[in-house]
Amino acid sequence: MEIPSKLIQALRTARSVAVLTGAGISKESGIPTFREAQTGLWARYEPTELATPEAFNENPELVWQWYTWRRGLIQATEPNPGHYALARLEAQVPQFTLITQNVDGFHKIAGSENILELHGNIFRTKCSVEHTVIKSWDESQGDEPPRCPNCGEYLRPDVVWFCEGLPQDVLAAAIRAAQSAEIFLSIGTSAVVHPAASIPVYALESGAVLIEINPAPTHLTPYATYVLAGPSGEILPALVAAAWPESG
């Protein structure tokens, strides 16, 4: 794909860049999107039966098993060239923020540093009652969720479920990053899950150049300054190499 020279020049000279990633950037690692993750054994469940506080209260074993299965899928794969290209981009730009809706932790493994995880991280748990974050836990109870070391209640995945609010400090930092970005990249997100989907709009309203990388059009496509239609695992490395040939 031909990358417009004006876009390469804008990226090379930008002092502040913010990025929003969604499930699409991890697809080339083999991680299914949320809907696709409900395959096989899990196909008969509605998302609300697996990813809500009510579902966890009613059937904690079922919800825990689903997350154990998803953690296994992620651990069996690794970040792809798109994740690594974003880490190289961060190294070139004075002010860089990576905002992600993904819970797979791949950006950190790939070397990105200034990461805002809007929807939590599947490799952390928190107490279902006190909400204290617990980073390691004992899997020995089998299908039953582990217990909080402080109060003995169940631990749950530290992710944002349907109907739950985003961590306000993380969301506020993401909006600030979008508002101060000269260039904003929206990558592999369908831009329908709010409030994450509004973040590129803050960037646009503040005058940022908006670049979308996605093989399919989204609600954001008509507003994008540049649309790079294709898989992020191919386009991101090409974009970073075009702007900084020495970085690869």
Tokens read off for 60? 């904690």
193 binds ligand NAD (CB under 6 A): yes
Note the maximum CA span of the chain.
58
- The nearer residue to ligand NAD, 207 or 222, going by C-beta atoms, is 222
Q: How far is the CB of 40 from ligand NAD (least distance, A)?
A: 16
- For the CA atoms of 153, 155, 161, 166, the dihedral, rounded to the nearest 10 degrees, stands at 90
- The nearer residue to ligand NAD, 46 or 153, going by C-beta atoms, is 46
Residues in contact with 91: Cβ distance below 8 Å, sequence separation at least 6, in sequence order: 247
- The nearer residue to ligand NAD, 74 or 148, going by C-beta atoms, is 74
Find the binder of ligand NAD among 3, 8, 33, 42 (CB under 6 A).
33
Closest CA to 186 of 118, 101, 80: 101
60 binds ligand NAD (CB under 6 A): no
Q: How far is the CB of 2 from ligand NAD (least distance, A)?
A: 18
Residue 234's SS3 state is helix
Q: Report yes or no: 73 and 31 within 8 Å, Cβ to Cβ.
A: yes
Q: Using CB atoms within 10 A of its CB, is residue 101 exposed (0-12), middle (13-18) or buried (19+)?
A: buried
Taking only Cα atoms into account, the Rg of the chain, rounded to an integer number of angstroms, comes to 19
Q: How far is the CB of 105 from ligand NAD (least distance, A)?
A: 8
CA angle 49, 54, 58 (to 5 degrees): 80
Task: Catalytic residue, from 119, 131, 194, 219: name it.
Answer: 119
- The nearer residue to ligand NAD, 112 or 189, going by C-beta atoms, is 189
Q: Give yes or no: 131 in active site.
A: no
112 binds ligand NAD (CB under 6 A): no
Pairing of strands 155-159, 183-187: unpaired
> Binding residues for ligand NAD, how many (CB under 6 A)?
27
Of 53-61, 86-94, 174-182, 183-191, the window that binds ligand NAD (rule: CB under 6 A) is 183-191
179 binds ligand NAD (CB under 6 A): no
Q: How far is the CB of 42 from ligand NAD (least distance, A)?
A: 13
Q: Report yes or no: 3 and 228 within 8 Å, Cβ to Cβ.
A: yes
- The nearer residue to ligand NAD, 76 or 151, going by C-beta atoms, is 76
Query: Rule CB under 6 A: which residues touch ligand NAD?
Result: 22-28, 31, 33-34, 101-104, 119, 188-190, 193, 213-216, 218, 231-233
